[in-house]
Amino acid sequence: MLADAKARRNLWDLIDANKDGRVTFLITHSMEEADALSSRIGIMVGGSLRALGTPQELKSSHGSGYVLQLRTSEPILTKEALPRLFPGARLLEENYGSQRFALPLDTRLGPAFRLLDEGAAALGIETYALQQVTLEQILLDLIKRYTPEEEKEKAGEEASDAYGPLNGAVVSAESTNV
């Protein structure tokens, strides 16, 4: 992947501008790139195709819903209150006043924003962001699910092994005019 964001964007624009009437296959470990350039994405883990679909289909079928990230001055309070406000919510991560919660796919967004806005002061919420699960998160979940235990033990804690040569995305940036 290109380190320079402007060069990467220029390459993406070039690929996007020239895909009409063609099928372009791109192999990448960057789910951001796959999402930006593709009409269909195939995710491989351990050399086998584990998921195939449009970016939205993958997010709907393999994603767990939404991710709520918030910064709070009262982490204990929000950790207790969020599962009551959003049934099915579970804490994913907590670091220095920053928390990430998984919210179910059936969470109604309008009421969610209203609850967060109205309850922010009482819960010590300084900022929040609510987003759909990313393709990156889906890739990492599929790697965890389909990597044999002995390989996980061999890899240890090395994060770079998650993006080994047999784990990644095979991307087809297809034109509808083909």
pLDDT in tens, 122-178: 888 999 998 888 888 888 888 888 887 656 565 555 544 454 555 665 555 555 554
Residue 137 pLDDT: 85
* 146/99 same-domain check: no
The answer, yes or no, to whether residue 77 has pLDDT greater than 70, is yes
Same domain, 169 and 125: no
- What would the pLDDT profile of 9-44 be if each residue is shown by its tens digit? 898 888 888 888 888 888 888 888 888 888 889 998
Q: Is residue 144 in some structural domain?
A: yes
105 and 75 within one domain = yes
Structural domains in the chain (count): 2
Q: Which of 156, 177, 151, 153 is nearest to 45 (CA)?
A: 151
Domain of residue 115 covers 64-132
Strand ordering across the sheet containing 98-103: 90-95, 98-103, 66-72, 125-132
Domain containing residue 113: CATH number: 3.30.70
Say what the pTM is. Answer: 0.66
